[in-house]
Amino acid sequence: MKKNIGSKLALYSMPITVIGAMNGDKPTWTLVGHLGIIGHDRVMVSLAAPHFINGKIKETKKLSINLVDENLLPQADFVGFASGNKTDKSQAFSYEIGEAGAPVISNSPLTLECSVADIYETLNFESYICTIDNTYVDTQHLGADGKINYNTLKPVLFEFPTYQYLKTGDVIGKCLTFKNDIVST
Ligand SMILES: Cc1cc2nc3c(=O)[nH]c(=O)nc-3n(C[C@H](O)[C@H](O)[C@H](O)COP(=O)(O)O)c2cc1C
């Protein structure tokens, strides 16, 4: 039996990321869990309008989306607490400048470097619709076939209702093979 608990933001768990943008010649970083995939060529990053990083993204039209693994979690949690409005967060991670000009966290297992194509505004929020310029993957997670190995790349997940971090689990099957059980019955 299921119970209707009303209109809830309940679509979790989802990967946690650190968004990076350049603030002059320094980076700034913000922890973000609310992001998504739009079609096959756009991603979306949802940011509260008062956040410091928003102005920097609007200035440069570039941002990076850095997946967080367990090693990176302490610094990632810090940039989800401190705001660039009061604290200089530029030293939180070692980084390089990506080919498109966004800051790329050196120790993140996977980084998307993005250009802002549009901003979708809702009450108190700005959702940045982005195209993907470059994808940087730690080679330990890259197979000989050039594909990312999600058996080894384990992003930290989060959920908003009780504000917790979670681990990803094991592979439980290949997509589109379960249908065979249904089709054959
Ligand atoms: C687990 C976690 C997830 C978060 N997810 C988001 C998010 O999806 N969108 C958002 O705007 N802020 C999110 N935040 C809050 C920002 O990271 C936080 O307010 C940060 O200090 C803003 O930094 P800034 O003002 O320097 O941009 C999250 C914080 C935590 C701890």
**Total domain count, the chain:** 1
- Report yes or no on 41 lying in a domain: yes
> 87 in ligand 1 pocket by Cβ < 6 Å?
no
CATH number, domain containing residue 30: 2.30.110.10
Q: What is the pTM of this model?
A: 0.96
The H-assigned helical ranges of 26-185 are 52-60, 73-79, 179-184
Q: Which domain holds residue 141?
A: 14-184
Contact 93, 29 (CB under 8 A): yes
- Report yes or no on 2 lying in a domain: no
What's the first-to-final CA gap in the chain, in angstroms?
A: 26
CA of 141 to the centre of ligand 1 (A): 27
Q: For residues 124 and 60, give the distance between their C-alpha atoms in angstroms, rounded to a whole number.
A: 21
- Report yes or no on 139 lying in a domain: yes
* pLDDT tens-place string over residues 91-139: 999 999 999 999 999 999 999 999 999 999 999 999 999 999 999 999 9
